[in-house]
Amino acid sequence: MYRLKSTHCLLLILLFCLCNNFAQGQIRQIGQELQRLPLIKDSVSMVNSLNRLGTLYRSRNADSCFYYGMKAKRMAINIDYKKGQTEADHVIAFALFKKGLYAQSLELLGKILPEYQQYNDIEKIVRVYLDMVEVENKGISNMTKIKSLLQKAIQTGKKLQKDSIMSDVYAAYYNRNSSLSKDSDSYYLGKSREIASRYNDERMLVFIRLGQARVLDLSGQLQRGLPLARQLLSDAQRIGNTNLQTNAFFLMTSICENNPKMALKHLYQAYAVAQKSGDKSLEIYILNNALEVANKLNDKDEIIKIYLKLEKAITADWENSKKFFGDYVRYNDIQNDNKLLSEKSAQRTLWLLVISISSALIVLTTYLFMLRLSRKAKARIESLNTVTNLQIIAMEEAKHQAVREEQQRLGQDLHDGLSSSIAAIKHQLEALFMDTNDVALKNKLSGLQADTENAYAAARNKSHEWFSAADNQQEQSFEKQIKLLTDSSLPDSRYDKDIHIDNSSLIGVDMDTRIALLRIIQEAITNIIKHARAKNVGILIYEEEDSLILTINDDGIGLDEKRSGNGKSTMGLQSIRRRVQSLNGQTKIHSDSKGTEITVSIPLALSLS
């Protein structure tokens, strides 16, 4: 079904509407702030201006949001402006969320919440609670925690004099709490509407009416729902809110369930709006929905057109993500610089205090401190590399899967279409050759037969070549991804690696199983780095009796026998077992003082795509 499910539609509305506090006149505000920026001489004012720019870009462009947050963070660190650092971290946390780094975003929001509480900045505290709700909902969707956060936001917001943000809070509580009674629904929705009306917040008023139109659609009242959706689209266009326009088009697509052509038209209109906003992830989401509608229509021309747009959007999103990961690395460098500056200051104070007691004691203390700092920095860098590599691997795998499927489809079309047509022409030429007695005509027909035979062979060979090339590319890509993971985590200067991958055993294995294998390898490598003290690491993938076998071994100190005997493995081993069980496979772990070997067996019949 191409129809958007109700939960997905509501989630999309919340994601693009609730985070947009400055939709109306936002471009104008950004322009004014950018004009003031070169005229600012005071460093504190400069940090505040950069943070305002990052906040204005929250709902428009995650990269710009991250850029101004980083710039403000660096300057605030240099002048030791604590509140400016907190506000910059808030801007950065939201950019991380928009880029899909949910755990990192949630960790940073948890760090800045007590800082805002210390400054008694009520509105910022409420905003942090709302941001946490969005991250929790997009990440692990812990509804109990989401409700608790929203209840805290409601209680905290009662202290506000200017309570415009509470319209968002009440709307969020209404949408996130499906267990509310009808009276409670009316109360929270009414509170949201009352506050939005008081502050003339057209964005929220349109958002509330979008929710009402969605309810009409779900209850089958199309005659009332469609005119309301059209009016909402007109209102969204009038106030210049692209996010509301996109959601209005999605609502109209959902209403046009029984009219695929009209639904596809609305999705194309939503895609045009998304292109103007520069949100590549939204473009990809819309195109995937459009592809479902085109498949329902069985319109090959539309399918090919959408595939080309989708490939272009995915490529652009991938290039954008690579740049963002580089920025994220630089952000962590800023964080480390901040900690180093604080720690150097503490070292100087400690030096003055301890030097009068014993010079030997200060040398020892400094040495231990630097050793601990080095280990922490190394652990952070390894964690960052692991997260980044897994993100890159997942994107690469999805890209190769799409290319492989398209190449095989083209090969099939070439084999079934062009080859069959050439074969039919060849048979007709043979019949003409047999039926005619004209020697000159026979010579010409003989030449045509030879050319047709060559064309038939070329088309058939090319279709077979595309089929086999697609499989070979996939296996080569998978091997490269494993080597990328191991090379970054297990440097050659410290580990001897022995990696063997039987490419024939991976033919036909689907993408989900491949990504699961990569994550199993990542978990095992993490255990080796943290606990094994190994020098040699081996990874082997092969096929045995209709099963895919993965073995990972090391020559480290082995696992803790007491813990293993009680069945309480480390979290990493538990994660490996869960992943293998989800693939209906088996896990065997053998460990002693000479090292550890993990053997994973996955039935091939269940992993074939």
In the chain, what percentage of residues exceed pLDDT 90? 18
Domain ranges of the chain: 389-489, 492-609
Query: Of 197, 143, 212, 203, which is closest to residue 173 (Cα–Cα)?
Result: 143
- Cα 459 to Cα 461: distance, rounded to the nearest angstrom: 6
pTM of the model: 0.47
Written as six digits, the tokens of 594 are 């000479």
- Amino acid 223: pLDDT: 62
| Side chain identity, residue 122 | I
Query: Of 130, 123, 127, which is closest to residue 158 (Cα–Cα)?
Result: 123
Query: Of 325, 509, 296, which is closest to residue 400 (Cα–Cα)?
Result: 509
- Amino acid 334: pLDDT: 56
Digit-coded pLDDT (tens) for 541-566: 999 888 999 999 999 988 764 444 44
Partner residues linked to 591 by β-bridges? 596
- Amino acid 52: pLDDT: 93
Confidence of residue 429 (pLDDT cuts 50, 70, 90): confident
- Amino acid 229: pLDDT: 72
Digit-coded pLDDT (tens) for 128-171: 999 999 888 775 567 888 889 999 999 999 888 888 899 888 88
- Amino acid 565: pLDDT: 44
CA distances from 28 to 31, 192, 371 (A): 5, 26, 51
- Cα 607 to Cα 120: distance, rounded to the nearest angstrom: 54
CA dihedral 38→43→48→51, nearest 10 degrees, is 70
More confident residue, 180 or 103: 103
* Residues whose CB falls within 8 Å of the CB of residue 561, separated by 6 or more in sequence, listed in order: none
Name the one residue in this structure whose structure tokens are 């502050």.
199
CATH topology of domain 492-609: Heat Shock Protein 90 (3.30.565)
Q: Which one of 109-113, 230-234, 605-609 scores highest in mean pLDDT?
A: 109-113
